[in-house]
Amino acid sequence: MSEEWVSLSDLAPGRVGVVRQLVGGRGFISRLAALGFTPGVEVTMVQNFGHGPLIVLVRDTRLAFGRGEAAKVMVEKASE
């Protein structure tokens, strides 16, 4: 069973989510897409201390995200 949607910044370290929605202008979305973020892709949270920037793994790439940027990515939590 899948769980609710949360923003990427709320995903705990080690948890996996599926990207459902990108919120923002076309420039922002096109940058995210080029880095591998499209709806349906799996992301794994690598580092998230609940404040400051965070690190995710998407399509074999480690990406550092500002907290504000991560808040604009909605993911569906995969069940544990």
Kindly list the residues in this chain that would bind another protein in the complex (CB under 8 A).
Answer: 22, 26-36, 38-41, 44, 46-47, 49, 52-53, 55, 58-66, 68-69
Q: CB nearer to another protein: give 41 or 74.
A: 41
Name which of 74, 55, 71 is nearest 4 in CA terms: 74
Residue 3 CB, shortest distance to another protein, in Å, is: 19
Query: Least separation, in Å, of the C-beta of 78 and another protein?
Result: 11
Tokens 């990406």 belong to 63
Can you name the residues that pair with 24 across neighbouring β-strands? Answer: none
Is residue 25 classed as helix, strand or coil in its secondary structure? coil
